[in-house]
Amino acid sequence: MSKRENFLRKFRDEKTNELNKISATDFMEIWNHYDADGNGFIEGKELDKFLSELCNSVHKSDIDAVPESFLKQFRETVLDAYDENEDGKISVQELAEILPTEENFIFIFRRENFLESSNFMKIWLEFDQDKSGYIEIDELRNFISKLFESHMENKIEITEEKLNDYTQSILKIFDKNSDGKLQLSEMIKLINPNENNYLKLVVNSFSLIKKDQLDEIFSTYDKDGNQQLHDEEIDALAKDLIDIVNKDYIAEDFQMFKKGLLKLGDVNHDGIISKQELYLILTAFTSKNLHDLSM
């Protein structure tokens, strides 16, 4: 048995040993503690540490009393229940469901709030009101406020104090470069955290793309089923491709990357990507091509 300070124990009630209701500030503190590398996920050894401390925090002692065999089973149970995209790691949104988080704060992360993830550029353009290329704190506060206002039928009420608290906590979770505002890659982590792991697998294999692979990738982005990618569908494709090579980008970087994609694959210059043109894009994506497009 190993001995170490258990970070989660302070969030349990001393009498009942139950986890207390996790406030926005508590959640921010917990997230930043376990997402040690700041990549936007709790995974690998970070996840092992979180689950171990979650189990062992029940005990008053700093001795790890829960056997490894149980922890392994517990990990599988948690991932089965909460890892929606089955990527073997926990996102901010998934952690908010695991912990007894304050209900209104959890609401911010609910997937149904954002319709299709391909709409992320529409959301960005709406709330980057000064067109600075960043979501400043007042714009983030407006975004969160509008989120609650759009669900008034659920009778969700939020005080000014809570709104400010939520805004500050969200900023501290997602503002990885600590500049007091959210750039595009940081905002996407809030509104669209899922990665297309299948696309990443195909692109990184650097092998000939098979027809069934092309069909599956194309259908993922062709949301309206009209056999061509346009507008938000191209945005979604560009977002998943740039995420493979560059996790840290601003709106200008994204637009340049998207322009590079169209230059690479939009043969007839109609601003639309057919399945054949997608094939050109994916087959051209050697490691050098990826590097050049991400600049």
Distance CA 45, CA 42 (A): 8
Nearest to 274 by CA among 195, 212, 221: 221
Nearest to 146 by CA among 107, 178, 189: 107
Structure confidence at residue 157 (pLDDT): 73
- Cβ(138)–Cβ(171) below 8 Å: no
- Phi, psi (deg, nearest 5) at residue 201: -60, -45
Residue-level pLDDT, tens digit, the chain, 295 residues: 455 689 999 999 988 989 999 999 999 999 999 999 988 899 999 999 999 999 988 877 665 677 888 999 999 999 999 998 788 999 998 999 999 999 889 888 875 655 455 578 888 989 998 989 999 999 999 999 988 887 656 556 788 999 999 999 999 999 988 999 999 999 988 887 667 778 888 888 777 888 999 999 999 999 999 999 999 899 999 999 998 888 789 999 999 999 999 998 999 999 999 999 999 998 887 544 444 554 4
- Provide DSSP, 35-80: -TT-SS-B-HHHHHHHHHHHHHTTSSSSB--S-HHHHHHHHHHHHH
71 burial (CB, 10 Å; 0-12 / 13-18 / 19+) is middle
Structure confidence at residue 238 (pLDDT): 92
Structure confidence at residue 202 (pLDDT): 84
Distance CA 206, CA 84 (A): 28
- Cβ(245)–Cβ(185) below 8 Å: no
pTM reported for the whole predicted model:
0.78
